[in-house]
Structure 1
Amino acid sequence: MWQTLAIASVFFPGLFALSVRSLGWAAPAWSLKDRILLSSRMVSSVQATMATVSGIIVVLNCKDVVHDRYWLAVEYVWVIVPYMIYDIYIMYFCHWHKSKDTLEKKHSLASVRSFLEKDRLMVTHHLFILVILTPVAQYFRGELGDFFVGCIFVAELSTPFVSLGKILMQLKMQDTLLHKVNGILILVTFFLCRIVLFPFMYWAYARHMGIPIYMVPFHIPMHCNVANASLIAPQLYWFVLICRKAVRLYSSSPSAKNR
């Protein structure tokens, strides 16, 4: 636990700093703000890939979805904890750099307040994972449910595509075929891994217990239903936003989008 926490606490900030420095050498014409934004998205993609691979490994190694154990289901949570703390700070740091023209040049309560107003849902989501889901995943569930922890890890599959979409927009490549294909991948992976994932977990439990899927909410502890509802609610909101962006992307001509 402590070794994993220490390594992850150094790895993500170190990777971010290395990326910013490397982009300074590779693209000296880029502003510091551009290098910071791109680096934050690259680190996010790295973590998401690590989480997805870990989740797939856990899921494939847990044939009994309730009782089977696999070490990554516990160990990778200790990677997520420092990442979430790092990511909250980096989100603020990116917001401050993007808003320097309208905010004070130095960090202040005003800049923190502006960040929290703009990204309150994402910050709440991160804090929910840290304060609620981490204790549940590591202690309160006992030795049950590694399969479902692995499923939650797989939810990160859409993140690299979301990050790539932002990077392409940052590079002024939003009218390219790559951006449109990536948009389709965002929709598909987000829908499957952040929306369909939750009914799938209920179906897997129902199949294991030999009960109808509609009986699962009454067969599992109430806090499991509350946790799942708390996780899927923001995903549904973000999916609606993604769909709206997709409609604009695929229905507007390049000339219309440039007006």
Structure 2
Amino acid sequence: MDLIGTPHIPTSLIGALTLYPLLFGTLGRLPAVKRILPPKADTQKQYHLCNKIVASVHSTIMTCTGLYLLLTVDWTKNDLSTYTTAITPFLVGLELGYLTQDTAFEFYQRAAFGVGSNLILFHHVCVILGSVYYLYALTIDNPGPYFIGMLSLMNMSTPVLHFRWILQSRGRTFVNSKLKRFIDTLLLVTYFWCRIFGNWWMGVAIGAKMGMTWYEAPQHIGKKFTITTTTMFLMNVAWWLILAKQWTRSVNSFYFSKKSAKKLE
């Protein structure tokens, strides 16, 4: 049996494992990309920038394709979990391919520069395992297109996050500006909408379809969906709480600390 091109090993997985590293290498050689950061930026910063551009490209593809899937299917006529479409394995394969190369980046970054995030690494490994499990558990009768479409929208906040990093890397002018607070707020709202509200909404949609409440629905949709969505939801809540804490500190120090200082004067 030829597995290549089947839902178990979609061509998007092979494409992501090939094209994303190629894009990364190409970006590292472009003078225009190197000029995005300040001249004093070290090799690790430049390396990180290329990885963030690749991540933003991937996120844009995932978001647009996921939106297309969700908006072009009539969910009143087609079942949320059994409707068959080639887009579903495409999205899962693309995500798995990206996360695999990005995890390799994390390991390389630790070896080459001595820096890395244990939380990001744990997040990647969990999603990789979930994606692998999904692809090998995938059957023609139960591809779960609505779930995959909604999960792909979680990528919507990624370009905002990386754009903020680029601006912050350019110096304190941005760090001490109202623009930073605006982008921080945009990130906080976007992240909540696409990664927490969207995850909850999947339960609402499935519950409405099955005639039950949103918190009862996960018990009736199959373990391969419940485990993945529940794990993602809990991890996204943890990430959002970290963002919310940073946002609160940033807004408080920028707006209210300055007012207090002026009153003391």
- What is the TM-score with the length of structure 2 in the denominator? 0.80
1:242: Cα distance to partner?
A: 0.2
Q: Deviations over 1:196-242 (max 9, x none)?
A: 11210011111212223343133333453332221111111111110
Q: Deviations over 1:127-183 (max 9, x none)?
A: 222223333245346433111111111111111111111111111222233322211
Aligned pair 1:9/2:17, yes or no? yes
**2:16·2:98 contact (CA, 8 Å) conserved in 1?**
yes
Describe the shift of the 1:6–1:141 C-alpha distance in structure 2 as closer, same or farther (beyond 3 A).
closer
Question: Structure 2 CA distance, aligned partners of 1:25 and 1:190?
Answer: 27
Moved over 4 A (4+): 95-98
> Where does residue 124 of structure 1 map in the other structure?
122
Give the residue type in structure 2 aligned to 1:60: L
Moved more, 240-249 or 85-94: 85-94
Give the residue type in structure 2 aligned to 1:152: L
Identical columns (%): 21
Give the residue type in structure 2 aligned to 1:49: T
> Where does residue 193 of structure 1 map in the other structure?
194
Q: Deviations over 1:10-52 (max 9, x none)?
A: 2111111121211477539343222112111111111111111
Pairing 1:103-182 to 2, within 5 Å after superposition: 115=116, 119-137=117-135, 139-140=137-138, 142-144=140-142, 145-172=144-171, 173-182=174-183
Describe the shift of the 1:36–1:222 C-alpha distance in structure 2 as closer, same or farther (beyond 3 A).
closer
> Where does residue 111 of structure 1 map in the other structure?
none
Moved more, 68-77 or 2-11: 2-11
**2:91·2:148 contact (CA, 8 Å) conserved in 1?**
no
1:58: Cα distance to partner?
A: 1.4
1:75 to 70, 90, 101: 90
Describe the shift of the 1:32–1:212 C-alpha distance in structure 2 as closer, same or farther (beyond 3 A).
closer
Pairing 1:17-96 to 2, within 5 Å after superposition: 17-23=25-31, 27=35, 29=39, 30-62=41-73, 63=75, 64=78, 65-96=80-111
Instruction: Structure 2 unaligned segments of length 5 or more: list them.
Output: 259-265
**Please, what is the CA RMSD of the aligned residues?**
2.5
Give the residue type in structure 1 aligned to 2:45: D
Q: For this pair of structures, how many residues does the alignment match?
A: 239
> Where does residue 109 of structure 1 map in the other structure?
none
Moved more, 163-172 or 3-12: 3-12
**1:61·1:70 contact (CA, 8 Å) conserved in 2?**
no
Moved more, 67-76 or 40-49: 67-76
Describe the shift of the 1:98–1:181 C-alpha distance in structure 2 as closer, same or farther (beyond 3 A).
farther
Question: Structure 1 CA distance, aligned partners of 2:44 and 2:215?
Answer: 49
Moved more, 190-199 or 206-215: 206-215
Question: Structure 2 CA distance, aligned partners of 1:209 and 1:143?
Answer: 18
- What is the TM-score with the length of structure 1 in the denominator? 0.81
Moved more, 217-226 or 153-162: 217-226
